[in-house]
Amino acid sequence: MAAIGKRDAHAEVGMVTSGSRLASEAGLAMLKKGGNAVDAAVATALALGVTAPAFSGVGGGGFMHIYIAKTRRSYIIDYRESAPKRATATMFKVDANGEVIGNENSMGVKAPGVPGDFAGLALALKRFGNLPLAEVAQPAVGHAKNGFTVTPLLGRIFQTNIDDALAKFRATPEAGRLMLKPNGTPYAEGERLVQGELGETIERVSKNGTAEFYEGFVADSLERHMKANGGPLRKDDLVAYKPVMRRPVVGSYKGYKLVSMPPPSSGGIALIQLLKLFEGLDLKTKGHNSLETIDLMAKALGRVYKARELVADPDFTEVDARKLTSATFIKGLRSEAYGSAKAGAKRDGSQTTHLSVVDKDHNVVALTESLECFFGSGIVVPGTGVFLNDTMHDFDPVPRRINSIQPGKRPKSSMSPTIFFKDGEPVLVLGSAAGPRIITAVLQVALNVLEHGMDVQSAIAAPRFHHQGGKLIRLETRISEKVQQDLKARGYEISPEGDMNYVFGGVHAITLQDGALHGGADPRRDGAAVGY
């Protein structure tokens, strides 16, 4: 079980919560300097890539949801990684079950998509920020060059080889040089990790502009390495990469308006569908994590996860988000939700991170980023300290399907940075890590706050379950033994997965109530909320 400790915070001016205390403090420092929520979010994201390097970094990508209080508008920046120009629908060999042979889509030089992180963060600052990139990058540079103390979860990832992290370090000399001690052993909790090359890279790019990354020394080193080792990613992929501004998806739940992530993420659509399915149910009376509540939610979840198969990159496939969140479509889901449903596809990984920010003017940012699996592909751009993602793992490796590989395409995601509004004002900001479990994590925390009346930290810490079709329910063992046995009696298969397990998400959320800010951080991760 993760130690809970003091993770929440209460404030009146500004608040930042993320999967790293050091990263949250980096964002708070920007707010105190006069920066806005976007400045703080970018500082936090860059610092997360240093202090929580297993989950995100400048070699990855993500989605940013920005709400500007003055205009009362939400803006979405999609800086998800895309497939290289030389990628093909048949680039990975699959077995009889459609799974990639040799894990080539998750480890090694064929696994990375074109990284979008620096491009997306720079665009956010240019359009909405107050401070220059060089200033907001300073905390990340400092923690990389001077080092930081390895946190409990990061130490566990190093020591127990979760998600093949240690295997990646030992298989790739450049990764091992950076992430193993001189004697070849992994770092442990409490030890100091220094990432000097990464610090130099972030500093150089932040001072001289993102062209250094996409056209300059990073792109040049990447091209040399990929050509030498048979990878498809090239400098011209980085030169051509552009983040995309998208229109959010919008829904409602019992008087609340929610604004969330559009395709290529399936998360916002799924969240709206689920809340509409639950709107006519009195979940509060049925009880939190009761047999009846979990049974009703599981039946709806199975059908909604199946409907995720209709979502893909809208620049390659027509995806009508309004239709998928319409009353007619949800009525169709309702008629099937409480029958049987087959398990949905499970492709996107769980090694992601989320942060939430509110500033003094009640501008808001909800931002979710990822390298995909822990430490991405395990491939480091030589001389830069940058781990490349393994986002090709999120594509369907079988050709001629909605989420199959195409050059320039962005794979489907579950990332769901979401803001709830009441009477036109933001009241709840949240998102999560955990791949397909993002949707169930965000859903449960939102219901814990809005339906069950929990404070934000209690809502995050409460035990969770996950279900996406079929009979299997995965759950934390703090859900009562009686409920588990009763679920079995109703025909479910139960998989207990610890009492507070990182696989159930990393939710970082802020509530705004009566002029005060309340921040919560997930004890399943290493994070903290800070404010002033």
List the catalytic residues. Answer: 352
Distances (CA, A) of 241 to 81, 296, 422: 9, 43, 37
The tokens describing 24, both together, are: 């949250």
Query: For residues 505 and 523, what is the distance between their CA atoms, to the nearest angstrom?
Result: 10
Nearest to 39 by CA among 357, 259, 353: 357
Spatial contact of 431 and 367, defined as CB atoms under 8 Å apart = yes
> Which H or E element spans position 268?
helix 267-278
Q: What is the DSSP string of 340-403?
A: --PPPP--S-SEEEEEEEE-TT--EEEEEEEEESTTTTS-EETTTTEEPP-GGGGSBSSSSSTT
Whole-angstrom CA distances from 100 to 56, 96, 392, 395 are 23, 10, 11, 11
d(C-alpha 168, C-alpha 175), whole Å = 7
Distances (CA, A) of 20 to 134, 226, 297, 436, 457: 21, 32, 31, 22, 16
Nearest residue to 113 (alpha-carbon basis) of 154, 85, 144: 85
The answer to whether residues 348 and 32 touch, using CB atoms and an 8 Å cutoff, is no
- Residue among 220, 195, 179 at smallest CA distance from 378: 179
Q: Long-range contact list for 333-336, CB < 8 A, 24+ apart? A: 333/273, 333/277, 333/300, 333/303, 333/304, 333/307, 334/277, 336/303
Neighbours of 463 (CB within 10 A): 17
User: 14: closest CA among 460, 330, 34, 384?
Assistant: 34
For residue 151, what is the DSSP state?
P
DSSP state of 242: -
Cα–Cα distance for residue pair 103/378, rounded to 1 Å: 12
Count Cβ atoms below 10 Å from residue 81 Cβ, excluding itself. 29
- Tokens matching residue 98: 């459609």
What the block records as the tokens of 529 is 């909320």
Give the burial string for 369-390 (b: 16+ CB within 10 Å, else e).
bbbbbbbbbbbbbbbbbbbbbb
